[in-house]
Structure 1
Amino acid sequence: MYVVLGANGRAGGEVARALIESGEAVRVVLRRKEQSEEWTALGAEVAIASVEDAGAMADALTGARAAFLLNPPPVSGDPYQRTEEIGAAIADAARRAGLPKAVVLSSIGAQHASGTGVIATLNRFEALLDGVAPATAFLRSGYFVETWSEVAQPVLSQSILPSFIEPSQKIPMVSTIDVGRAAATVLREEWTGKRIVELGGPEDWSANDVASAFAEVLGRPVTAVLVAPEERAALLAEEGVPGEVADALLGMYEGIANGLFTRQDSSEHRRGTIALATAIERVVATPAGR
């Protein structure tokens, strides 16, 4: 039995689907019972637990061969304090359950304790979960291609791709489909101790490349336009992003601009197979993101 956290999110959902499609027994951990219908229809077992509840999480993890663990993306409050609380609860739960193997979602750039905004919370999350199981792997993902769904509307209506990343700067990006497949693969591998696995797409991409992929899918030109740093906070506020969360997100883009979103030579490096246009085609089909 493989246990997957965050199954209703982008990455966790792809991990659960990849395992189910491979014929594995899967238990997804959901916050609310009403979220379970899709997963029971796919044949998954469902456990209801909040990531902050160590007792309920321990029950959900009991009996697992391995588990996919993550720190949910921040939506409110102080992301750094939330990481402390969630990381401590998940670590406690895993130890109570005697979890033998864990794959923990992290991010490229998580080697830096500061200067990377919200990515720095994953530096701390890695520290809290280090040694949480006899075999623990930190899957450091590139920037999710599906994150561009958050600005798909101006692409569809105006053929403009707003970007907080300088349009020509290539960075590690990857489709969450590849994240799911990679996590499912690592979960079934055998090792002991700690691993850091860094995952990108078939190649590194820029916002200009993303705009070109939108253009290919839509059949018309699309232009990437850099949003000036001084304009970004107001845009996030208009979208309803709370101030502390917005600050952490803006810090991430500052870290990317400063060259901190990079792989480590000492890590395992892997690449997915999903082409940029393939991932963007899915974004266009479901612009709100999955």
Structure 2
Amino acid sequence: MYVVLGASGRVGGEAARALIECGAAVRVVLRRQEQGERWAALGAEVAVASIEDANAMADALKGASGAFLLNPPPLKGDPYARTEILGAALADAARRAHLPKAVVLSSIGAQHASGTGVIATLNRFEALLGGVAPATTFLRSGYFIETWSEVAETVISESVLPTFLDPAQKVPMVSAMDVGHAAAALLCEEWAGNRIVELGGPKDWSAGDVAAAFAEVLGRPIKSLLVPSEQRAALLSQEGVPAEVANALLGMYVGIANGLFMRQNESEHRRGATSLTEALERVVSLGI
């Protein structure tokens, strides 16, 4: 039995589906019972628990041969304080459940304790969950291609790709589909101790490459437009992003610009199979 957190999200959902498709028994952990109907229809067991509730989470993890764990994206409040609470509760739950194997979602760049904005929360999350199971893998993902869905409407309507990334700077990017499949594959592997696996797409891409891929999907020229740093906070505020979360997100883009969103030489490096164009076709067609 594999337990998957975050099945209502992109990566957790892909991981759970991949495990189910290969015939594994799966238990998804969700915050609300009504979210579980479609998973039950696919044959998954459904547990309802909040990550910060160590008692409920320990029950959800009991009997698992492995689990996919994550720190959900921050929506409000202080992301750093929230990571301390969630990480401590999840580590306590995993130890009480005697979890034998864990794959923990993290990010490329998580080796840095500061200078990377919201990614630094994953540095702390890794520290809190290190050794949480006799076999623990930190799956450090590249920048999710699906994040570009946040500006897809502007791309489609105005033929312009607004970006906080330098259009010429290539960085590790990867589809959430590949991250979920990698998490499922890792859960089925055998290893001992802690390890780090860093995952990117078939190659690294820039915002300029993203604009070119959107152009291919839409069949017309798309221009990338770097949003000046002094305008970014106001844009996020207009989108309803709380100030503390916005500051953490903007810090991530500063870290990327400063070259901190880089793989570690001593880590295991893997690449997904989904191309930039394929992932963006899905973004446009499904509106995700």
Answer whether TM exceeds 0.5 for this pair. Answer: yes
Residue deviations 1:11-47, cap 9 Å, x none? 1111111111111111000000111111111111100
- Count of paired positions: 288
Please name the residue that 1:201 is paired with: 201
Alpha-carbon offset, residue 286 of structure 1: 2.4
Residue deviations 1:168-199, cap 9 Å, x none? 11000000111011111111100100110000
Please name the residue that 2:46 is paired with: 46
Compute the TM-score of the two structures, normalised by the length of structure 2. Answer: 0.99
Please name the residue that 1:273 is paired with: 273
Alpha-carbon offset, residue 10 of structure 1: 1.2
Please name the residue that 1:154 is paired with: 154
1:146 is aligned with what amino acid?
E
Q: Structure 2 matches for 1:156-171, cutoff 5 A?
A: 156-171=156-171
Q: Structure 2 matches for 1:100-249, cutoff 5 A?
A: 100-249=100-249
Residue deviations 1:97-131, cap 9 Å, x none? 00000000000000000000000000000000000
| Distance in 1 of aligned mates of 2:167 and 2:116 | 19
| Distance in 2 of aligned mates of 1:283 and 1:125 | 29
Residue deviations 1:53-111, cap 9 Å, x none? 00000000000000000000000000000000000000000000000000000000000
Superposition CA RMSD, Å = 0.5
| Distance in 1 of aligned mates of 2:160 and 2:40 | 40
Please name the residue that 2:96 is paired with: 96
| Distance in 2 of aligned mates of 1:208 and 1:22 | 37
Q: Percent identity?
A: 75
Residue deviations 1:242-263, cap 9 Å, x none? 0000000000000000000000
Please name the residue that 2:33 is paired with: 33
2:28 is aligned with what amino acid?
V
| Distance in 1 of aligned mates of 2:224 and 2:39 | 37
| Distance in 2 of aligned mates of 1:47 and 1:232 | 39
| Distance in 2 of aligned mates of 1:34 and 1:115 | 39
Compute the TM-score of the two structures, normalised by the length of structure 1. Answer: 0.99
| Distance in 2 of aligned mates of 1:67 and 1:129 | 13
User: Is 1:85 aligned with 2:85?
Assistant: yes
| Distance in 2 of aligned mates of 1:211 and 1:40 | 39
